[in-house]
Structures are given as structure tokens and as C-alpha cells.
Amino acid sequence: MKRMVWVTDIHLNFISMSGVEAFCQRIVSERPDAILVGGDIGEAPDVADYLRLLADRLERPIYFVLGNHDFYFGSIAKVRSAAEELTRQSEWLRYLPCSGVVELTENTCLIGHDAWGDGRIGDYAGSQVMLNDYLLIEELTGLDRTTRLRKLNALGDEAADYLGHLLPDALARYRQVLTLLHVPPFRESCWHEGQISDEDWLPHFTCKAVGDLLRDAMQAQPDCQMRVLCGHTHGAGEARILPNLDVKTGGAEYGNPGLQELLIVR
């Protein structure tokens, strides 16, 4: 059995250093064996520093994915490369998109990826939403609507390809799979202020490529269970997609990072 604290969308760059220290103490007070961090930790210039600080203060395995804010004022490729380097160097930090299938107990494993809003759910063509992602992330700036959609599709497909490579092994060896994402993989899990996001926002806040993969995999393995943890929308909610597939979306508030849940993993 393991005790795991899950946090997401903590945006540590929105709080003082004393606030970061207090947040770390709240985590430690739960006596976790490990921590799950669901992305949006900081921004490109400081996210590696915040991860190192978390490792220094918590001194426990930290399994993390990155969120869109973590690439602001930088590049997806460069920030992900830095996260991979942290995984190689740190005793505690583990970036899930380069960590494979992580055994938590003999019955349960962990997999994860950042995922991305891939434009495939909702009305991308008619949406007037212009995220800061499209202004502040190197790979997404200066693109017309059609070119941007191709890039969003590719980012979603990349996440699905990675998880699809892991799932056969994970489902063959473990009865329970815990999947950590930043972006919700289903319309039903794209919560905001107590409701499912509308057609304008859904294209930017859901990853259909990952959702389709997870649904197909779990339909084919009815004796296994999967729980998905995600964030991104700052709206808390739960959705049961299949009898053996449920999703929990974490709530968040800028300037007030919180603990989503203490998970007891058996």
C-alpha cells in the first residue's frame, strides 16, 4: 500500500516563496510515500527551478507531467528536454513521458503524459477562443488557424502514441492503471465552474486522441480498472466513462495551490 498526494495546476509563480514553502509543508504533513504533480507548475524560465525546490523540500518520489503554462515564454521541446534531464539527474523527480510504466504496488502501475488540447472535440472552426498558448509558446506562435490545428492534432497524437505504446504491457501486468495527464481526455471530464465546457472551449481543453485510446483499451480489458487524473480547466469534477474507466479533474485557483486528494494505492 502507498499513500500518494495528487496536486495539479499549482502555478507556483503566482505565490511568494514563503507560500511555496507552506505548500510543501502541507504536502509533507500528509506523510505521502510519493507525490503526483499534474502540470502547470510554473513557466518555462522557472519550471525546472520549482521542480528542484519541490524535490529538495519533499524528499520523496515526485511523478510529474507538464502543463501548457509550463511552456509559456519558451519552447515545448526545450522544456520537455529539461524535464527529461531532471529525471536523469534527480533522485526524486520523474517526468512520466520518459518514465515508462511505473510500478506502484504489485497490483497497480502509473503512466502519464502532458497530453494537449488537440482541437478535435467541440467547434474548433467556429471558436473565437485565443489562448495565451498561441501567443506565448514558441511552437504555436504566428500560426494561422489551419496550421495551428495541424500542430494541435500532432501534439495530441504524440501523447496518444506514447501511452498506446505503454498500455499493452501495463494492462497485461497490472489489474489497476493510474493515468496522470494535464489535459482532460474526454468531453465529460472537461469541467469548469461545475459544468462541462461549451463548444468554443472544448477544442482547446480536451485531448480526443488520448481519450479514444483509453476508451478502446479499457473496453478491450473489462477485468482491469483505470483511473485518470487530470487538470487544466481549474474546474473540479468526476466522470465515469466506462464501468472500468473513471476520470477525476482537479480544481485550481491562481495564487492558492491546493491538494486534490490523498490516494491510497493498493
Its sign, for the CA torsion 180, 114, 95, 49, is: negative
Model pLDDT, residue 45: 98
The whole-number average pLDDT for the span 70-97 is 98
Q: Look at residue 23 and give its three-state secondary structure.
A: helix
CA-CA distances (angstroms) from residue 46 to 21, 27, 69, 73? 16, 21, 11, 10
Q: What is the mean pLDDT of the chain?
A: 97
Tell me what the mean pLDDT of segment 89-113 comes to: 98
Q: What is the pLDDT of residue 59?
A: 98
Minimum mean pLDDT range among 23-27, 29-33, 122-126, 192-196: 192-196
pLDDT digits (tens, 9 = 90+) for 224-252: 999 999 999 999 999 999 999 999 999 99
Residue 231's pLDDT is what?
98
> Please, where are the H alpha helices in the chain?
17-29, 47-58, 76-89, 133-136, 145-173, 202-205, 208-219
> Of 122, 111, 108, nearest to 213 (Cα)?
111
Q: Are 7 and 259 in contact (CB under 8 A)?
A: yes
Residue 98 has a pLDDT of: 97
- pLDDT at residue 179 in the model: 98
What fold characterizes domain 2-265? Purple Acid Phosphatase; chain A, domain 2 (3.60.21)
Q: pLDDT band at 82, cuts 50/70/90?
A: very high
> What pLDDT score was predicted for residue 175?
98
Q: Which residue has the cell 527529461?
A: 84
Q: What's the chain's length in residues?
A: 266
Instruction: Give, rounded to a whole angstrom, the gap between the first and last alpha carbons of the chain.
Output: 4
Q: What pLDDT sits at residue 73? A: 98
- Domain ranges for the chain: 2-265
Q: What's the whole-number mean pLDDT along residues 17-45? A: 98
Q: Are 93 and 62 in contact (CB under 8 A)?
A: yes
116-174 tens-digit pLDDT: 999 999 999 999 999 999 999 999 999 999 999 999 999 999 999 999 999 999 999 99
Q: Supply the DSSP symbol for 97.
A: G
Provide the pLDDT for residue 72.
Answer: 98
Edge-first strand order for the sheet with 261-265 is: 93-95, 62-64, 34-37, 2-7, 261-265
**pLDDT > 70 in the chain, percent:** 100
Average pLDDT over residues 191-195: 93
Can you spell out the DSSP letters for 114-142? -----S-SS-TTT-----THHHHBGGGTT
